Each structure stands twice: as C-alpha cells, then as structure tokens.
Structure 1
Amino acid sequence: MAVDFSWSQFLWIVFVFVGVPSTFWALVLWAIFSKRRETAGTGPLGLWATGSTAAASGFVACAGWLSWSADQRGEFRGPGLPAPNAFPSWQVAACGATVVLLCLLAAHLSRWPKTGGHVAALGLTAGFSTAFCIEASTDVTGQSGVGVILCMLGWGFSLTLLILIRNAVVGRKQPAREP
C-alpha cells in the first residue's frame, strides 16, 4: 500500500537511514586517514568534491536505472511514483555495473589516491541509498526502510572492498620510494 510522496517523511528517512550512518562512517574515515601522511596525487577533486560527485552519481545511477522497468514481453513502466518493484536481471546488473564504474571513476578523479577512494565509496553509497529513500517515504509498511538499510550495508561493504582491492593494485604499480 503506497501513499502520496511526503517531503518531511523523505527527509526524515534520509536523515535516519542515510545521514546518521554516513556521518558515523565519515568520522571513522577521518580518524583513520588523518593520521596517515598521504601524498597528493594528480586528480582534480579534493575530498569534499569527491564525496559530493560520488553522491550525486549514486543518486543518478539509482534513479536512472531503477525508476523504470521493462519486462520480458517488452512492456515499459515508469518513470514515476510508486517506482516499479520488478526488474529484469539485465537492468539490475547494468545498474550495479554503473555504480561500480562511477565509484572507480570518482576515486580516480580524487587528489588523494587512497583516501579519495574510500570517500567515493561512502558518497556513492549515500547517494544511491538517498534515491532509495524516495520509495521508502511512500511506503506505510516500513519494508522499504529495511531495504534502505540493506542498501546502505550492501553497497557500503561492497564498494569499500572494491576500493581496498583498487588501493592494493594501485599501491603495487607505484614505484617504491627511497628513504
């Protein structure tokens, strides 16, 4: 059962399910990476710009891929509210591939090679989950709120793992510095 979209409900859900966990994770990243002496790379984006770009990209990826649906019979639905709740597997795979590529791109554009990657992962997770909150704000059952939590956890862990692998690969390619 869906109800009309409510800005106050949307903002509350974003605050509780996206804002609070993202702020906590940003503080953890700050605590970890503020002690390191990372040298700046060649990317044009600072940490705030990296996170903001990634958040906007995550929102657009979710809204762009998951606000419409095409079924096996060729029928098209959307975009609009309520959002579709059934998607062909190719559409979900394309959405996931888009998010992964956008995360790697945002990490690559960051001036800070390692920290910027983690900020990109956090920003993309927050942006994607914020778009998920649009549907959650129209759901009276609360099940969409659980979906937002699972979205935050799933993308958060997956993109962080992706960035850890990326940082390990990039770290191997850089020449060793002499003391």
Structure 2
Amino acid sequence: MTQLAQDQARASTQVLDQLLQLLGLVGDHDLVPVLLLDDTDRWVGALEVEASRTLRAAFFGRVLRLLADDLGVAAVVAVHPTYESDAGYQSAQPFFDHVLRIPDLTVDGDVRALLQRRVARILGHDEEDGALDLVMTPEAVSVLFRGYQVAPDIRRRILLSSTAALTLALGAGVEQIDEGHVRAALSEQGG
C-alpha cells in the first residue's frame, strides 16, 4: 500500500490500475473491500447550484458505474435526500442493490430514543433502562430536538451537537448535560 500511495498516477487509466491493485491487495488477504462514500453533500454542497448538479450527474452517471462495472466493488454511498430527484441519481437506480432511507425525527421522543440507544450501548446497559437520564436532562433533549427542527440534520444537529454538549458539561465538571450545554453546542454548529 505504501508503494501504491507513493506512485504518482498521471492518467485516469493509471489511477484505475492503482485502485485495482489496492483492491486486489485487500482481496488477497481474504477481506472483501467495501468503499464507503459518506457525507457526499458536504463536498458537493459547497459548489454553486449548477456546478453541484453537474458534479452529481457525473458522480451518479460515471463514478457509480465505474465502481460497479469496471471495479466490481461494493460501495455504500450516503446521499442527501434532495439528490433523489436528480436525473443522474434516477439513472443510477439499476446499480443500487438496496436503498435505505433515514426518516426525519418528528417528535423529541425520537431524539430521546436515538440517544438512549447510543448511551446504553456505550455504558453497557439495556436500551430500556433509562441510561440517557444519567447523562442528559429531558430539557436538554427537547432543546436538541428544537435545534434539529430548525435544520434537520441528524449527524450535525443531534450527534455532533450532543457530543459537543458532553464536552462542555465535562469541562464544567458536571455529570449531566443540561439545556445550556446543548444551546452552546448548537450555536457552535451554526444555530
């Protein structure tokens, strides 16, 4: 892998050859390579609208076909729900084995359930034992939900914000995240 990383590919065929070598190396160790392309809206969203559409069309039109046809590699691609109406996304449908849609959170109980599962796993508790109450007040969960309603993004508005709130609470020397910690964390996330 170090050899492949040091070789400077000049043409797209060289890049493809290097990628095939890397995938072969992984396969040679009885592993199945899977490419994870997460948070695609982050690198596309920074572009102007027309450039974003052009890049998405190329990605769904050429890149996914390259992965499926030329490389034969499994890929998990996280896309923003608004991409589903793109012509490129629609034309790529035959290359998707499965599509998993993550539903919007509609009540603060949804946020509570999501965080309860995560906290219970981290603490080694049953999911129904109220582990979330050990680390976060109900008011803090409600503030998280209201922040999510303003900008529905589970990763940024719930997961990253709750992690930032935990850091603030620990820095303050308290054992439980309260609504003040969440408000401060949400403001760091842009709202």
Q: In which range does the TM-score fall when normalised by the shorter chain?
A: under 0.3
TM-score normalised over the length of structure 1: 0.26
TM-score normalised over the length of structure 2: 0.25
Higher RCO (CA < 8 A, seq sep 6+): 1
